Amino acid sequence: MLEENDNVVTHLTDYFVQTGLNAEVAHFLSMAGSIILLLLLLILIHYVSKRIVIKAFVAFTNKTKTTFDDFLVKSNFPRWVSQILPLLIVIATVPVIFSGFERFLAIFNTLVNIYVIILSVLIIRSILRTSKNYLKTREEFMDKPIESYIQVMMIFLWAIGFIFIFSEISGRSVLNFLISLGAASAIILLIFKDTILGFVASIQVSVNDIVRIGDWITFSKYGADGFVTEINLATVRVQNWDKTFTTIPTYNLIADSFQNWRGMQESPGRRIKRSLYIKQNSIRFITSEDIQKFEKFHMIAPYIKERQKEIEEFNSKHSFDRSSIINGRNQTNLGVFRKYVDTYLRTHPNVSKELTIMVRHLAPTTQGIPLEIYCFSSEKAWEVYEQITADIFDHLIAAIPYFDLQLFESPSGDDIIKSVKEMNSNRVALTPETKKEA
């Protein structure tokens, strides 16, 4: 039985009946005509409301100081909001248009409800994207994995949306659907294993402050050596020094070992740790002539005088036989050079005085005795750091011969050829008498 309401559908039905059509056919044609009119009206309303809403948002954002509303516009938030008015019109008119066609009305109501769910998800998603982009501009959030949290929230958002859509299609309540879903939880966990691991890892990374955006990390397993540019749910993106990018699974940041250089970046200096290999046969006790020469070196002159005075008093007190230099205490050219290096580092303008400065011997090797220089550059930028390190070792390598010391260097082909030529020339220069003595 058709409802007699004073509306467009009723008037169209009456018109078609008067032309001689069957009442059912007339009502069907009136419904189709009403749908066409509604679609045209919705297109017009949507076009007008979209322009009005977007212009209103743009005008509003231009007058405000915050950038949050600017990101709202960029995330299509006004576009989705502009669809609310046409949707309300559809919800109000659909029951009238499909009056008498309950089956079509039920299908159309389901479609409308599904669209309401999708539109709600899209609006909330725009807000989440806006929040992500806005928080990235705030200094206190720049090093936080905001991307991971937003991705997790979007996953939950879409999951809830799909649950409600399935509930609308199947006609089952959300509670019953969730109960059925619990039975399939093992399969769901298997499907979303990487997502769940990434979510847990991103939380641990953030809570334990393992890595931040902007940190310099070295992860040899993945060939990563550079700055972290992005932390999201599944991966961490690293821009290497050669400007290439490496992606690392987020979970591996807590499952594997990697090196984070943030401590160096936040400290007063960057470590310099390098050794000079001294030839062992060039090390000797220094003589009085050496002392006179070393006293002319400004940086160690006070040390030489004080140290020599202390040694002479000790030797005199114990009555050592000084006819042999090995008796008693003596200075060595390596010891004097070690003091020179230490003084040089402590007076160097680019070496941090707040951190450790040390010059030490390491265990002798086949390449000689390693004299390790351990200090910290006050400049941490890579290029400047390398320049400072090079300047220090340029000076020390050039200063070594002044202490009658030699650096170890593996002989090259030219060295061997030169030695052979010298041996041959020495043989030619020998006289007959010298040859007999040889």
In a domain, 435, yes or no: no
| CATH code for position 228 | 2.30.30.60
**Residues 61 and 150 reside in one and the same domain:** no
Q: What is the pLDDT of residue 15?
A: 61
147 and 122 assigned to the same domain: no
Question: Is the Cβ–Cβ distance between 135 and 146 less than 8 Å?
Answer: yes
- List 375's β-bridge partners, or say none: 272
Q: Are 289 and 239 in contact (CB under 8 A)?
A: no
Residue where a domain stops, chosen among 121, 137, 153:
137
Closest to 273 measured CA to CA, from 205, 351, 197: 351
Nearest of 252, 152, 149 to residue 196 by alpha carbon: 152
Are 87 and 116 in contact by the 8 Å Cβ rule? The answer is yes
Note whether 323 and 347 are same-domain residues: no
Q: Which residue has the higher pLDDT, 146 or 272?
A: 272
Buried b (16+ CB within 10 A) or exposed e, 408-438: beeeeeeeeeeeeeeeeeeeeeeeeeeeeee
pLDDT > 60? residue 215: yes
What span, in angstroms and rounded, lies between the C-alpha atoms of 234 and 236?
Answer: 7
pLDDT at site 209: 76
pLDDT surpasses 70 at 25 = no
Is the same domain home to 95 and 226? no
Q: Same domain for 164 and 248?
A: yes
CA nearest 212: which of 226, 229, 234, 196?
Answer: 229
- Pair 25, 125 in one domain: yes
Domain membership flag for residue 50: yes
Site of tokens 């093992």:
186
- Kindly state the helix (H) or strand (E) to which residue 274 belongs, with its residue range: strand 270-278
Q: What is the pLDDT of residues 41-93, one digit of tens each?
A: 777 777 777 777 777 777 777 777 777 777 777 777 888 887 787 778 777 77
Domain boundary among 137, 152, 175: 137
Is there a single domain that holds both residue 280 and residue 297? Answer: no
Give me 415's structure tokens.
């060295």
Residue 236 sits in the same domain as residue 362: no
pLDDT of 374 strictly over 70? yes
DSSP per residue over 209-242, as a string? Answer: T---TT-EEEEGGGTEEEEEEEE-SSEEEEEETT
Number of domains in the chain: 4
226 band by pLDDT with thresholds 50, 70 and 90: very high
Over range 294-303, report the average pLDDT.
91
Considering the domain boundaries, does residue 94 fall inside one? yes
Q: Side chain identity at 158, as an amino acid letter?
A: W
280 and 313 fall within a common domain? no
What confidence score (pLDDT) does residue 393 get? 95
- What pLDDT is recorded for position 166? 81
Lowest mean pLDDT among 12-21, 234-243, 354-363: 12-21
- Report if residue 300 sits inside a domain: yes
Tokens representing residue 297 in the block? 């070196």
Q: Is 266 exposed, middle or buried (0-12, 13-18, 19+ CB in 10 A)?
A: exposed
pLDDT at 279 over 60: yes
Q: SS3 for 136?
A: helix
First-to-last CA distance in the chain?
137
Residue 437 in any domain: the answer is: no
Q: Are residues 37 and 112 in the same domain?
A: yes
Q: Is the pLDDT reported for residue 165 higher than 50?
A: yes
Mean pLDDT of all residues belonging to the chain: 80
Question: Is residue 438 assigned to a domain?
Answer: no
pLDDT at 185: 65
Residue of higher predicted confidence among 188 and 290 = 290
Residue 266 tokens, joined:
């936040």
Q: What local confidence, expressed as pLDDT, does residue 263 receive?
A: 82
**Residue 375: CB atoms within 10 Å:** 26
pLDDT digits (tens, 9 = 90+) for 306-322: 998 998 889 888 888 77
Token code pair at residue 207: 């809570």
Q: What counts of helices (H) and strands (E) characterise the chain?
A: 18, 8
Whether 246 and 369 map to the same domain: the answer is no
**Percentage of the chain with pLDDT > 90?**
25
Contact of 154 with 168, CB cutoff 8 Å: no
Give whole-number Cα distances, 251 to 42, 79, 137, 184, 195, in Å: 48, 37, 26, 25, 10
Reported as a pLDDT band with limits 50, 70 and 90, residue 2 is very low
pLDDT at 273: 94
Determine the 3-state secondary structure of 278 from DSSP: strand
Whether 392 is covered by a domain: the verdict is: yes
List the single range of 113-127, 171-185, 282-296, 308-322 with lowest mean pLDDT. Answer: 171-185
Q: Is residue 310 part of a domain?
A: yes
Full residue range of the structural domain in which residue 166 is found: 143-266
Q: Which of 128, 52, 58, 57 is nearest to 86 (CA)?
A: 52
Q: Any residues with CB less than 8 A from the CB of 235 and at least 6 apart, and which?
A: 198, 247, 248, 249, 250
pLDDT confidence band for 6 (50 / 70 / 90): very low
Do 291 and 274 fall within a single domain?
A: no
- The larger pLDDT score, comparing residue 55 to residue 123, is at 123
Q: Which of 137, 166, 191 is the last residue of a domain?
A: 137
Residue with tokens 């007076």: 347
Q: How confident is the model at residue 389 (pLDDT cuts 50, 70, 90)?
A: very high
CB 353 within 8 A of CB 261: no
Q: Which pLDDT value is given to residue 262?
A: 85
